[in-house]
Amino acid sequence: MGRNRNDVKNTFEEIFGNEPIVVRAPGRINIIGEHTDYNDGFVLPAAIDLSVFVFIQRSGTSRSKLISVDLDESYSLGMHDALVPVDQGWVNYFLGVIDQFQLAGHKLEGFNLMFTSDIPMGSGLSSSAALECGFGQALSELFKLKVDKVALAKMGQAAEHKFAGVKCGIMDQFASCMGQNNQVVKLDCRSLEYDYYPADFKDYELVLFDSNVKHNLADSQYNIRRNQCEEGVKIIQAVNSKVSSLRDATLEDLAQAQAEMEEVVYHRCKYVIEENIRVQAVCEALKAGDITKVGQIMLETHAGLSREYEVSCKELDTLIEIASACDGHIGGRMMGGGFGGCTVNLIQKDKVDQVIEEVTKGYQEALGINTKVYRVAIADGVGVCKQEINEGV
């Protein structure tokens, strides 16, 4: 996973003849608050110690070269070229960010860039958001643009909308930019006000199980969910004109509007309204040090995502079912957009090895798929690597 960073730096210097600036941008986990971000609601993510590393330096011309070390692919562009999405998927994240910088009035000159990533792609750990934020930070450093990190997160989100076609919320980019070592960040996705909470899970460890699948309806179904929520809001507004997004709606508003709604829209809205309540409850439980409660709420979220929001899949449900039956597992749920990727679980520290063994075996027996296990640490958000680049995160 990802190349040795010193090797990449040496290769950069050999190819381009100068020392690069190196930027690290992390992936993220999310404790609670799934599919709430684009409903103006609350989320509780954290940046992790799996990251994208971007190596960049000026080219001295108006042309730029991008190299994906992991994929062994490259792409060249002129900084005055018209920008449109291309077939090489990874390139679009870069084009999208360049487009955002240019729209914000920044004049970019040519650069050479290489990148490598530790974040497994398609695992729901936001490798794309990390790429957008890492590249944005790299441009900002290279051309001394002083773009603040919240602005960077917004640019990453806009790039994703326009060049990857996913109408994502702000959570992933915000976590990658604003994450802090050993802290989870509670974000109000409407006002972008945020608070940090110590990521102290006491006798429990967060463990991720990767379903090792990514169903290709993920992107299309994501946008459909977003539309269904917007449709629900319009109907709820007839009973409560103060509701401008699902974040404002109560379960009572929804009950009053239910008769006018398609059943599927009702269930989408119910899930989101309840999930926002669950984020608040998890924050309270964390403050009180009640980790068992956090685990229980995570299981409720999984049930909602699976049955009401319908973004889970057989593989994710199986992982949760097997893990829940293990001694020492106190909670878990699918994480991220859904239709594949990882589950996030809370497991008693002295039972982690045993649970990992049981889940790995059970998943293989049930579906014939190997799970991958990630025991991630919570880390800082995007930044320039000033020290030894192969150390730490």
The annotation status of 123 as a binding-site residue, yes or no, is: yes
Q: Where along the sequence are the contacts to ligand GAF (CB under 6 A)?
A: 34-35, 37-38, 168-169, 171-172, 336-337
- 222 annotated as belonging to a binding site for a ligand: yes
Flag whether 302 is marked binding. no
CB of 34 to ligand GAF, least distance (A): 4
Binning the chain into helix, strand and coil, the percentages to the nearest 5 are 45, 25, 30
Instruction: State the nearest-atom distance from the C-beta of 287 to ligand GAF, in Å.
Output: 23
Rounded to a whole number of angstroms, the minimum distance from the CB of residue 40 to ligand GAF is: 12
DSSP 367: H
**Minimum distance, C-beta of residue 336 to ligand GAF, in the bound complex (Å):** 4
CA atoms of 139 and 149, how far apart (whole Å): 12
Residue 35 assigned to a binding site: yes
Q: Is 172 in the active site?
A: yes
Task: Pick the closer one to ligand GAF by CB: 24 or 225.
Answer: 225
Q: Is 197 exposed, middle or buried (0-12, 13-18, 19+ CB in 10 A)?
A: middle
Going by their DSSP bridges, the two strands 63-68 and 111-117 should be labelled as parallel
Nearest to 2 by CA among 69, 82, 49: 69
Closer CB to ligand GAF, 116 or 126, in the complex: 126
Residue nearer to ligand GAF on the CB measure, 12 or 209: 209
Q: Are 315 and 340 in contact (CB under 8 A)?
A: yes
Residue 126 annotated as lining a ligand binding site: yes
212: amino acid identity, one letter: N
Distance of CA 98 to the CA centre of its chain: 21
128 vs 137 by CB, closer to ligand GAF: 128
Sequence-distant (6+) residues with CB within 8 A of 263 are: none
Residue 21 CA neighbour count, 13 Å, CB half: 20
Catalytic residue of the set 99, 118, 172, 253: 172
Annotated binding site: which residue ranges?
34-37, 68, 122-128, 160, 222
Catalytic residues: 172
Annotated binding site for ATP: which residue ranges?
68, 122-128
Annotated binding site for substrate: which residue ranges?
34-37, 222
